[in-house]
Amino acid sequence: MPKPLKVVLWVLVFAAAIGAGAFVASRSNPFPPGVEDPGARPTSSKSPPPTADVWNISMDISSRHTLHVGGSCRTDWRVTGSITLQPNGRASGNADAKLASPASCDFSQAQVQTKAIRLVVVGTPLDGKLRLAFSEAGRTPVGSQDLGGLTNTLSLIHPSVRLRGNPKALVLATKPDGDLGTYSSSSHLALSMQ
């Protein structure tokens, strides 16, 4: 076969191959089902950042200071507030403990009973639960005494709740008063999503 004819024949073979490839490519989808075309959506769209969850806190606390010489003082508290759970797991909030009824003591006393306690609430995620902790941030009236001893057991109130269904917890706390007596409290906590 003469050389010029071979060149023409090879050019025709390559042209046919290129044309067939172009034809097949124009009729096929380069992205199989389930694979998104990265050029088919705007590049400026971002998914919204995760949002924080806010939970309402409701807690009833009965506290008692039992003296070693006999007798005790009792107080009942109603706690309301909220805690915000961030997407990173950190949780914090505030609550107010208000005296539900006057303090009841087995003996006469002249101390001014605390009427309200401002609380700081923090939470720590642990094993699928949120463990709460409370600390005092102030009281009303300033300089008053908590006769039933709630503020003395506050550091021991650490309810752990699962944030599903109807999150509730019961915490019983007891602590020596340093004078052969004891402080004790019984806390019933309930959380609800805002």
Clarify whether residues 28 and 83 are in a common domain: no
Helices (H), the chain: 3-26, 150-153
* Closest listed residue to residue 76, CA positions, set 114, 20, 126: 114
Q: How high is the pLDDT of residue 4?
A: 80
Clarify whether residues 81 and 119 are in a common domain: yes
* 47 located within any domain: no
Give 166's strand partners.
Answer: none
Angle at 120 between CA 181 and CA 189, to 5 degrees: 70
* 76 located within any domain: yes
> What span, in angstroms and rounded, lies between the C-alpha atoms of 107 and 111?
12
Three-state secondary-structure class, residue 30: coil
* 171 located within any domain: yes
* 161 located within any domain: yes
For 17, the domain range is 3-35
Q: How high is the pLDDT of residue 194?
A: 86
pLDDT digits (tens, 9 = 90+) for 77-115: 999 999 999 988 889 999 999 999 999 999 998 899 999
The tokens describing 144, both together, are: 């008053």
The tokens describing 185, both together, are: 């409290």
